[in-house]
Amino acid sequence: MAKDHSHKSAVEPTGGSTLEVVDVDRKPFYPVAALEPKHVEPHSFDSMTQVVTYLRDKLRDTPLVSPEESAAEVFKMLNRDLTQTERDALFKLLLVKEAHQAGLFPKKPIDMNALSDKLREGAYPYKNRYPNKLYEKELYDLQVELLKLQDWVKRTNSKIIVLFEGRDAAGKGGTIRRFTENLNPRGARTVALSKPTENEAGQWYFQRYCAHLPNPGEICFFDRSWYNRAVVEPVMGFCTPEQTEIFLNEVTGFEQSLIRGGTHIIKFWLAVSQDEQRRRFRERRENPLKRWKLSPVDIASMDRWDDYSKAIRRMFQMTDTAETPWTVIRNEDKRRGRLNAIRVLLQSIPYDNRDMKKVGNIDPLIVGRAGSLFASNGDPLRFDINNEIGNS
């Protein structure tokens, strides 16, 4: 029978209960030679990071021995290299970590529905982020429903356009990926067009988009769309004011013709606050894996927030219709935003075998109709969409 090399030790935490720590016998990995102190100097153990750094420095670049021998040497080293106060601080941190791992200090549950203290000032309504575990469960259920929707679209030869607009870094691409990641790619496409070519620039504005409209039995997700002409292009000087006005007067007719041809159109505007946009830009700049997302247009847009707000407000007023309404989603918390965007689509299309319990309810604190933001005279009624519509 193989010899059991596991080593058990017990510590007596405050309160009288015994916490047993087991060191499982594994391949030797603890070095010993570096445990001999070269000189004594004060040590501060205010965090586990300091503890780990201290022990790692002592154990680096030395021969390997068994865990039992290394453990004995560690305790010898602690006794001769540290003062009593330093040892107390180190052991306190180690015992607290073990106690947490043993479940003696259960984490305080986070209230995901707690409202922000600044809700009345127009801040994002929720204080805490949506918990990831619940998010993954609900996302799974919603993606199963999306597959039912796709099956219905294929069987009925239906056509669906799901259109995403929003300021830079609003989360359009990530939201679209949660829609599409488990759909059959033969019946679902993402359309993300680059700037128009010289030939396209001379065509009827909608012409280059017509080539990417859904075929019967297909769902198309537009990551930005023809609405570039309403917001980005005029703000950045890529089109004239006259071209924008022509677009705003033509777009509802264009969309109505698609609807008469049997196409369902769902339009999303993902809204973020100016502070959140700047935070996401900083993240893109500092993360090498996301740096490609930060374009010169993104950087230039940071100083044109108010110009964007005016253009967005004008677009909503001209293009939010009964047939093709704008659904505005506050996307500061991407998990909440993604779940609610999927729910809006699933509640909008009468597909077979829809499980409304799995679809769930749309959150009215972060989802609203763009048309409800304005009074009959065009003045803003609500300012809780992160000042998205501007103030003038």
The span from the CA of 281 to the CA of 206, in Å, is 31
Decide: pTM greater than 0.95: no
With 90 as the cut, is the pLDDT of residue 164 above it? Answer: yes
Higher-confidence residue of 314 and 302: namely 314
Residue 200 CB partners (closer than 8 Å, separation 6+): 207, 208
Would you list the DSSP string of 196-250?
--HHHHTS-TTHHHHTTSPPTTEEEEEES-GGGGTTHHHHHTSS-HHHHHHHHHH
Mean pLDDT confidence for 79-87: 76
What pLDDT, on a 0 to 100 scale, did the predictor assign at position 82?
75
Structure tokens at 306: 């108010």
pLDDT digits (tens, 9 = 90+) for 178-207: 999 999 999 999 999 999 999 999 999 999
Exposed / middle / buried, residue 217 (Cβ in 10 Å: 0-12, 13-18, 19+): middle
Task: Look at the block and give the residue holding tokens 């309504």.
Answer: 125
Percent of the chain at pLDDT > 90 equals 59
The span from the CA of 30 to the CA of 70, in Å, is 6
Q: What residue spans define the domains of the chain?
A: 7-101, 119-373
Helices 132-156/172-180 angle, 10° precision: 60
HSE, side-chain direction, 13 A CA sphere, residue 204: 8
Percent of the chain at pLDDT > 70 equals 71
Tell me the pLDDT band of 19, cut-offs 50, 70 and 90: very low
With 50 as the cut, is the pLDDT of residue 383 above it? Answer: no
Exposed / middle / buried, residue 198 (Cβ in 10 Å: 0-12, 13-18, 19+): exposed
What pLDDT, on a 0 to 100 scale, did the predictor assign at position 41?
52
Structure tokens at 248: 């705003």
Mean pLDDT confidence for 282-305: 86
pLDDT digits (tens, 9 = 90+) for 203-262: 999 999 999 999 999 999 999 999 999 999 999 999 999 999 999 999 999 999 999 999
Cα of 230 vs its chain's centroid, Å:
26
Q: Which letter does DSSP use for residue 372 in this model? A: G
What pLDDT, on a 0 to 100 scale, did the predictor assign at position 188?
99
Q: What are phi and psi of 278, to 5 degrees?
A: -65, -40
Which architecture, in CATH terms, is 119-373? Answer: 3-Layer(aba) Sandwich (3.40)
The span from the CA of 240 to the CA of 231, in Å, is 12
What pLDDT, on a 0 to 100 scale, did the predictor assign at position 201?
92
Of the given ranges (88-92, 98-102, 236-240, 258-262), which has the lowest mean pLDDT? Answer: 98-102
Strands annotated E in the chain: 7-11, 19-23, 30-31, 64-65, 159-166, 188-191, 218-223, 263-271, 326-330, 367-369
Nearest to 344 by CA among 320, 368, 322: 368
Beta 188-191 vs 218-223: how paired, if at all?
parallel
With 50 as the cut, is the pLDDT of residue 13 above it? Answer: no
The CA-CA-CA angle for residues 282, 286, 287, to 5°, reads 115
With 90 as the cut, is the pLDDT of residue 46 above it? Answer: no
Residue 84 CB partners (closer than 8 Å, separation 6+): none
The span from the CA of 330 to the CA of 310, in Å, is 18
Mean pLDDT confidence for 133-149: 98
The span from the CA of 172 to the CA of 64, in Å, is 52
What pLDDT, on a 0 to 100 scale, did the predictor assign at position 68?
64
What pLDDT, on a 0 to 100 scale, did the predictor assign at position 152?
99
What pLDDT, on a 0 to 100 scale, did the predictor assign at position 87?
73
Structure tokens at 183: 């759909």
What pLDDT, on a 0 to 100 scale, did the predictor assign at position 12?
46
What pLDDT, on a 0 to 100 scale, did the predictor assign at position 294?
84
99-103, 215-219, 381-385: which is most confident: 215-219
Q: What are phi and psi of 384, to 5 degrees?
A: -100, 20
What pLDDT, on a 0 to 100 scale, did the predictor assign at position 55?
67
User: Is 3 in contact with 47 (CB distance < 8 Å)?
Assistant: no
Instruction: For residue 344, give the 3-state DSSP assignment.
Output: helix
Higher-confidence residue of 25 and 363: namely 363
Average pLDDT, the chain: 82
Strands in 159-166's sheet, in edge-to-edge order, are: 188-191, 218-223, 159-166, 263-271, 326-330, 367-369
First to last CA, the chain: 83
The span from the CA of 354 to the CA of 141, in Å, is 11
